[in-house]
Amino acid sequence: MQNQVVVVGAGLAGLCAGRLLEAGGADFVLLEARDRIGGRILSAGDDAKPGHDGFDLGPSWFWPATQPAMSALVAELGLAVFPQNAHGDVMFERMQQEPAQRYRAMEQEPQSMRLAGGTAMLTQTLAHVIPSRRLFMNARVTAMSLDGDGVALTVARTDGGPEKIMADQVIAALPPRLLEATISFTPALDKVVLRRWRDTPTWMAPHAKFFALYDRSFWREAGLSGAAQSMVGPMTEIHDATTASGAAAIFGFLGVGAAQRAALGEAALVAACLDQLARIFGKEARTPRATLFKDWASDPLTAVPADAALGNHIVPDGRAWVTGPWRERLVLAGSETSSTVPGYLAGAVEAAERAVAEILHRLRLGGA
């Protein structure tokens, strides 16, 4: 049987696309390679497993003042938001030999907002409006070929052998660089298009986040916001990660590069992060009740080897993401393909809206 649409990837873009396809009356399936939805959105409990009221190992913030599509989605889904904590002084660590300095915080502009329950509330709520018969986990697309009146997708299932799925239209809701590296196309795409996909950095894929979870936000009691900058490391940028329900935590982005992280290993990095937190926030910071660590550069469903190096911001331009014979069958919808805010959560929402409008138009089901 031929589906009207196959969506590849159940990150924010794929789930937004699924919700809009469902509303538009399209017959579709959504294929996700992982055993969970969300992609780069990962809110985890103390045990590092995806959970409610989770700590955001992927994205934490959105900016309502500049991201109207994202704000509209959050409001439509009825999700509660709260501001990133910025009350209190910030710390600055300049040199190993010198104690961290305390400064009065600048007003945050625009205000970063977080989702109560973790950013995964967004993807979990979206998944509720997609019928379960349409969503398949552990289904990794490995190849696509133009086949008569549609596209034949080869899907590797962990619960069985490869499978062929047919579609009139395909929405590829994953980073273009990952698409180029992991899915083969017959006939091959134009070389210029493939080079552009390869050269488009996957936003934040080179990064790793460390969390220390505590019984209380002791830094707030000391008049600190939990924010710190460091030129010593291993974390360069540190923030309060306390949840809306009050589960206390601090997180930091590691400034150590992906190759060095791989060489050092998680245990050594965690120990160095705790040393740093103790230097900056005092000895109580050395003994968290739990720690969490997520290295996105070593996650093969987000990053490719080229993501070991930090990428630049993507500058949107008007060029088509797909050309040649594929143009009538394939639309890209990963956040990096957004024409307004590529790489961000808001970009995934915008790219999915654009892709589905195009697909519904092609299927004559309404839309643009």
- For residue 11, the SS3 value is strand
If the CB atoms of residues 204 and 250 are measured against ligand FAD, the closer one turns out to be 204
If the CB atoms of residues 118 and 150 are measured against ligand FAD, the closer one turns out to be 118
Chain centroid to CA 6: 21
If the CB atoms of residues 65 and 222 are measured against ligand FAD, the closer one turns out to be 65
If the CB atoms of residues 91 and 333 are measured against ligand FAD, the closer one turns out to be 333
Contact between 28 and 187 under an 8 Å Cβ cutoff? The reply is no
If the CB atoms of residues 201 and 279 are measured against ligand FAD, the closer one turns out to be 201
If the CB atoms of residues 173 and 363 are measured against ligand FAD, the closer one turns out to be 173
Give the count of beta carbons closer than 10 Å to the beta carbon of residue 257: 15
Closest CA to 235 of 206, 255, 211: 255
| b/e map 356-365, b = 16+ CB within 10 Å | bbbbbebbeb
Give the count of beta carbons closer than 10 Å to the beta carbon of residue 323: 12
Provide the 8-state DSSP code for 134: G
Closest CB 107 distance from ligand FAD, rounded Å: 19
Rounded CA-CA distance 54/93 in Å is 28
Closest CB 95 distance from ligand FAD, rounded Å: 27
Residue-wise DSSP of 19-76: HHHHHTT--EEEE-SSSSSBTT--EE-TTSSB-TT-EESS---B-TTT-HHHHHHHHH
Closest CB 206 distance from ligand FAD, rounded Å: 9
Residues that bind ligand FAD (CB under 6 A): 8-14, 31-34, 39-41, 58-62, 140-141, 173-175, 178, 182-183, 203-204, 207, 209, 296, 301-302, 334-335, 343-348
Write down how long the chain is: 368
Closest CB 52 distance from ligand FAD, rounded Å: 19
If the CB atoms of residues 92 and 253 are measured against ligand FAD, the closer one turns out to be 253
Rounded CA-CA distance 121/127 in Å is 10
> Residue type at 212?
A
Q: In 214-322, which residue ranges form alpha helices assigned H by DSSP?
A: 218-221, 258-264, 266-281
Closest CB 17 distance from ligand FAD, rounded Å: 9
Rounded CA-CA distance 85/74 in Å is 20
Closest CB 16 distance from ligand FAD, rounded Å: 8
If the CB atoms of residues 14 and 150 are measured against ligand FAD, the closer one turns out to be 14
Closest CB 70 distance from ligand FAD, rounded Å: 8
Closest CB 42 distance from ligand FAD, rounded Å: 8
Is the bond preceding residue 68 a cis peptide, omega within 30 degrees? no
Give the count of beta carbons closer than 10 Å to the beta carbon of residue 79: 16
Closest CB 148 distance from ligand FAD, rounded Å: 23
If the CB atoms of residues 183 and 308 are measured against ligand FAD, the closer one turns out to be 183
